[in-house]
Every structure is written in C-alpha cells, then in structure tokens.
C-alpha cells in the first residue's frame, strides 16, 4: 500500500491534527518516461505552512491533495533513460511512501553522504544559508552578522558560515537552552532569547558595534528591533517570515521601515534558493567539504515514521527542533 497524508482543510490560525488526513491507496505504476520512487526522508519546512495561505513562489495547496513537501527517495522501478533502480533522487512529491514521477521532476543526487545530510545541510537548507548569506548578505571579515531562528535548519548553517567568513555572529532563538547551545556548541559569539522580552535592548547589548548583516528568517519583532540597530549601508537578507506563517492573518509590518531604510542606506533583498541553482554543484561541494572537515556541524533533528509528520510540523512552529527537522520514512 501507499500510505499518504492528505492536506485536508485550510487551518484557521495554527495548524492542528485536523489539517491533515491519513489515507492508504494502491502503489502507483510508472508510465513511460516516469520512475517509481520510494520515500526515504521528508523535509519539514516552515514553507509547508505558508503554502496553505495562498500562492507564494508556488501554487497554493488545495484541500484533498497529497500534502506537498520536499523529499529524498530511492528509485525502485524506472521507465526513463536517466534513472535506474537504486538511484537516490530528490523532489517535491509530498508526504507519501511512493510516487511515480516524470524524470524532469526528479533530481539525481550524486554526493556521497548519509540521507540525513542530503535532506538538509547538503540540500535546500545548506544552499539557502550559503547563497543567502554570501551572495545576498555580502559579509566582510569583522562584520557583525545577526541571524534569527538561529537554532533552526537554515540558522545553524548561516551562523557557522558567517563565522568561517570571519564575522562576529549573533543569533536569536526561543529559550535560554537553545541560546546556550548556540554559543557553547556552534561557536556563536552571542545569542538572544527573543521570547524573554526586551529583545531590542538585549540585541543592542549583544551587538555593541551595531549590525552589518541581518539574515532574517522570522520577520516580526526581531526584524523591527534589528532595523533600528543596523549600521550604515547594512544588508538585510530577507529569507523568510516564520513568525507570520502559522497565523490567521499576518501582522502589519513595522511602521518605521521606509525611514530607517532610507536614512541608513540599507539594502533589504529577498531571494529564493532556486535562483542560485545554476551554481548548486559548486556550493554543495564546498558545504560537503566543510562538514567533512568538521568546520561546520550539520545538525539534523530526525523523527521516525511517516505517521509522525503532522506532529513534527506542528512541533517546528513550537520551536521543538534543533537544526534541520526531517522525517525518516
């Protein structure tokens, strides 16, 4: 059987168990030009929730469809030239055991690494941190780099890459435990618990020379505080807005943004990691080398079992993860 999670209905406010519906159906049979893939790992991403709110960089989810999501799998049968049984591939075929897909929707992975690394640090997560920080943020040695959701998948990688680039690195995360972990285990120079209140004051103390690059994963209160602490000609890398995904209606933006951007000559720039995929091989090789040499710790938070996917996604918004949250199927 093919076990699947369907996207059942649009949540009002936070996602819950009733956002999804479990079903079992026949294993699909690949047609000419397709491969049958068995899911091995599922990536859980804040964007999964954002796709429920309407059109983003992709179409909105429709109730009744298999819950979308990025996955790694193994080809079990192939009716397409470029793939054979046993190949490891990635793609967006969602929360299910099997999918039959045309070759153009599957990317073959050739990097030799455990699947736990291929689902995050050596894939979307690592590449988002790499290109977002180095290309959009343009950090220079000695700069102060602030990253929000610093203990998460992208954040842990951004902080460590910034440190390799010779920057002073400050993170925000929910709870003192996570903050202590960032400074103790991942080499952050300082970390601020944004849930403790007084985030602007705490960030000002953690960044006495101001902020040169703010890598924004959250939007909301941390962005508002960071804006007022940015140095002249600072760069704000708009990577995501996780504080506003699991809500009914996003809060209005900070009122002072335009004035601060003008007077401080700031650059705020959004990006989608796929914009840089023509340079993916070079970045992936570099990330793999840094991880192999122990210069970057690839942190992955794995939950076992397809049945646990909804709880794991709900947990992501409660900040239960450290590093990349993934489901082993």
Ligand X SMILES: NC(=O)c1ccc[n+]([C@@H]2O[C@H](COP(=O)([O-])OP(=O)(O)OC[C@H]3O[C@@H](n4cnc5c(N)ncnc54)[C@H](OP(=O)(O)O)[C@@H]3O)[C@@H](O)[C@H]2O)c1
Contacts to ligand X by CB under 6 A: 45-47, 124-125, 128, 149, 151-155, 173-174, 178, 217-218, 220, 239-243, 271-273, 316-317, 319, 321, 325
Cβ atoms 67, 95 nearer than 8 A: yes
Report the interhelical angle of 153-164 vs 124-131 (nearest 10°).
40
Nearest residue (CB) to ligand X, 168 versus 324: 324
User: Rounded to an integer, what distance in angstroms lies between the CA atom of residue 258 and that of residue 48?
Assistant: 30
Nearest residue (CB) to ligand X, 6 versus 149: 149
CA-closest candidate to residue 47, choices 273, 322, 304, 284: 273
CA of residue 309 relative to chain centroid, distance? 16
User: Rounded to an integer, what distance in angstroms lies between the CA atom of residue 226 and that of residue 149?
Assistant: 13
8-state DSSP, 293 = T
The distance of closest approach from Cβ of residue 153 to ligand X in the complex, given in angstroms and rounded to an integer, is 3
Secondary structure (DSSP) of 34-93: EEEEEEEEEE--HHHHHTTSS-SSSPPP-TTSBPP-EEEEEEEEE-STT--TT-EEEEE-
The distance of closest approach from Cβ of residue 23 to ligand X in the complex, given in angstroms and rounded to an integer, is 26
Nearest residue (CB) to ligand X, 34 versus 322: 322
Cβ atoms 161, 296 nearer than 8 A: yes
- Angle at alpha carbon of residue 74, lines to 64 and 31, rounded to 5°: 65
Cβ atoms 209, 230 nearer than 8 A: no
The distance of closest approach from Cβ of residue 284 to ligand X in the complex, given in angstroms and rounded to an integer, is 15
Nearest residue (CB) to ligand X, 144 versus 218: 218
Query: For the chain, how far is it from start to end, CA to CA, in angstroms?
Result: 14
The distance of closest approach from Cβ of residue 233 to ligand X in the complex, given in angstroms and rounded to an integer, is 23
Nearest residue (CB) to ligand X, 83 versus 291: 291
The distance of closest approach from Cβ of residue 8 to ligand X in the complex, given in angstroms and rounded to an integer, is 22
Nearest residue (CB) to ligand X, 150 versus 165: 150
The distance of closest approach from Cβ of residue 46 to ligand X in the complex, given in angstroms and rounded to an integer, is 4
The distance of closest approach from Cβ of residue 53 to ligand X in the complex, given in angstroms and rounded to an integer, is 12
Nearest residue (CB) to ligand X, 83 versus 202: 202
Cβ atoms 7, 63 nearer than 8 A: yes
Nearest residue (CB) to ligand X, 30 versus 174: 174
Cβ atoms 7, 52 nearer than 8 A: yes
């Amino acid at each position: 059987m093919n076990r699947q999670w369907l996207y059942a209905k649009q949540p009002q406010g936070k996602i819950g168990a009733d956002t999804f519906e479990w079903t079992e159906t026949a294993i699909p049979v690949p047609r000419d030009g397709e491969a049958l893939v068995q899911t091995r790992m599922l990536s859980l991403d804040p964007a999964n929730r954002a796709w429920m709110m309407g059109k983003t960089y992709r179409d909105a989810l429709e109730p009744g469809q298999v819950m979308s999501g990025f996955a790694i799998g193994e080809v079990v049968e192939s009716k397409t030239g470029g793939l054979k049984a046993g190949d490891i591939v990635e793609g967006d075929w969602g929360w299910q055991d099997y999918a039959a897909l045309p070759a153009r929707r599957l990317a073959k992975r050739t990097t030799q690494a455990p699947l736990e690394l291929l689902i995050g640090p050596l894939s979307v997560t690592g590449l988002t941190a790499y290109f977002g920080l180095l290309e959009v943020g343009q950090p220079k040695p000695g700069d102060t780099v602030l990253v929000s959701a610093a203990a998460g998948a992208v954040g842990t990688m951004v902080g460590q890459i910034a440190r390799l680039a010779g920057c002073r690195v400050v993170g925000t995360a929910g709870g003192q435990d996570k903050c202590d972990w960032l400074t103790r285990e991942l080499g952050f120079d300082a970390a601020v618990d944004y849930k403790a209140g007084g985030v602007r004051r705490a960030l000002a103390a953690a960044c006495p020379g101001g902020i040169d690059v703010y890598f924004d994963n959250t939007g909301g209160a941390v962005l508002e505080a960071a804006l007022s602490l940015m140095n002249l000609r600072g760069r704000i890398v708009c990577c995501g807005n996780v504080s506003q995904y699991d809500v009914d209606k996003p809060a209005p933006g900070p009122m002072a943004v335009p004035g601060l951007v003008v007077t401080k000559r700031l650059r705020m720039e959004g990006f989608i990691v796929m914009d840089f995929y023509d340079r993916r091989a070079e970045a992936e090789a570099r990330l793999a080398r840094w991880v192999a040499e122990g210069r970057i710790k690839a942190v992955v938070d794995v939950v076992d079992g397809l049945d646990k996917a909804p709880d794991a996604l709900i947990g992501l918004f409660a900040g239960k993860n450290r590093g990349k949250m993934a489901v082993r199927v």
